Every structure is written in structure tokens, then in C-alpha cells.
Structure 1
Amino acid sequence: MKKPTLVADAALPREGGADRAVVEVAVGVLIQANGDFLLTSRPVGKVYEGYWEFPGGKLEAGETVEAALARELHEELGITIGAVTPWKVELVDYPHALVRLNFCKVFSWTGDLQMREAQSFAWQRLPVVVEPVLPGTVPVLQWLASERRFMGATHSIAAHA
């Protein structure tokens, strides 16, 4: 069964009509040892300016998700990432583009965060306190919450065994 597409701002018209191409995007869910994760704001002048999201960017021709993520996080945040764990994929229909978000978990990186596009950043926990959150980010927060509930149930069961 085909997974439904997340439609953002459904009341707004779509640019490019019904047969528009899918834009492939690599997205990094950077997670610290304490479980905090990184959200960044969309830079001034970009669509959804000021909305909070997980960092990443478009794949270039012939580029893998992992290579695009490493390039984008270096360009945007000034960090060099370690191993990437492909996680989930979400198709989001925004008014300006049809985007396939390839989410990857990243647990190790080197370098200090530098907001090279004058964006803001915030280490967050659930529930997040920054807003507004980009529509394509919402499912990730739900996945993280679901994992946290699962891990809590697993720890609870193990404690009573």
C-alpha cells in the first residue's frame, strides 16, 4: 500500500501543476548523547522563512543522500558529520515544490556549529519549544515521540522482569 503524501498548506495553489518533479532532499536529525536534537530556522529570503526544521538540503545530480547531507551540513553549519544512519522517508507536497525528505540520524560530528546562512539553532527535546515548525518536520517529532514511548515501555518491562 502506498504511503500517503503529507500536504502542507492544502488551501494554497501548487506551483507547477499536478505533474511536477520530486525534489530529493537529505535531512539530518542530529542527536546528542543526552537525546537532545538540533533544529535550525529557515534563513531570511527562503520559502517558509523563520520556520524551524531539521537541517539539510537538496541532492545534486549523481549525489547520494549521505554525500548530500555531509555537504549540506558542512556548508550550512560548518560541521563534519560521522556515520549517517538512513531512517525514514516522507513525501511532502508544499505549495512551492513536491519534496521527498530523506531523514537520516546523525550521532557524531566534529566542529562547532556555525550558522553560515544567518539562521538560528536550538537544541530541543520533546515537546519542542521553538515555533513555528515546518510541516515536514512534524512527522519526525511524532517518530521521535513514538521511539521514546517504545524505549520507555521496553525499560519498564525489563525493570519488572
Structure 2
Amino acid sequence: MAGHTENSIVIQAPLKLVWDVTNDVAGWPELFTEYASAEIVERRGETVRFRLTMHPDEEGRIWSWVSDRTVNVANRTVHAHRVETGPFAYMQIHWRYEELPEGGVRMTWIQDFSMKPVAPVDDQGMTERLNINSPVQLEIIRQKIEALAAGSTVPNAAVPADKE
């Protein structure tokens, strides 16, 4: 049985700012609390290959993997998948951005995956973890981007290149 999650948040900021900040992979360690580093490995057209390294987990393990991420500006979507899958048999993430008529942007993460039999958790366990952690990360991202949109200074907030 494969795992599937879908989590969304509405960010009260212009679409361009939300898009620019959340698609600046090199800036993810300042945007997400779980990433210690993000290294761009290669860029090919609209696809970026990158290595993410997490902060040590509760047992002191440091997880790292390589993913490909392809943006589709016209459709306001992003598709990503792990190239180095680690404990996953596969992991695919779809990001969707929707500009709302009442203002703001709904950003949605859809994750489809399956865990390897040797992984520390099974599909259900990872689904539960992602459904706990994704809303936490989405809320942190919302706060940081809304502060940027308001012109506030936020500690460790990612700033898009055109705003530096």
C-alpha cells in the first residue's frame, strides 16, 4: 500500500513573492526549519537537481538525499521526485499554487510515496509523520512570507534574489 498526503495553506502575499521564495531551493534552510543545507547540484532548463540535508533527528541521524524539481510557471505547479530515495522506494511531490479571488495564494503539497521494507517506518507511519510535519512547515513558511510581504524583518527568512 502506497502513502499519500495532501496539505494546503493560504498565504496572504502576492503570487510572485510566494512562488519566488518557495522555489528558491538554495534558500530552503532559511525557509524550512528541518533542513540544515541545500546544495544545488545541477540546473537543466526548468529542472534543478539538489541535495537536501536535514538537521539531526532525535536519534542523532542525519538524513540527506538528492531530488529533481521541475517548475511549470504557466501552470503554477512544481513536480519533484527523489533521485536518491533513501528509505523510500519512491517519493513524488506535487506543489500547486492557486491565486484566490478573495486574496492570497493557496499553496498545496501532494506527496505520493512508498517506503522500503528496511525503512524505520512503514507507509502508514510515514503518512502520519508527514501529516503532522507538513502543516507545521507550511505555517512557518506562511509566517515568513507574510512578514516579507508586509516589509517586516523575520529572523532566518528567505529573501528572493530580486529583493536583496
TM-score, normalised relative to structure 1:
0.25
Q: Which has the higher strand share?
A: 2
From the CA coordinates, give the structure whose radius of gyration is larger. Answer: 1
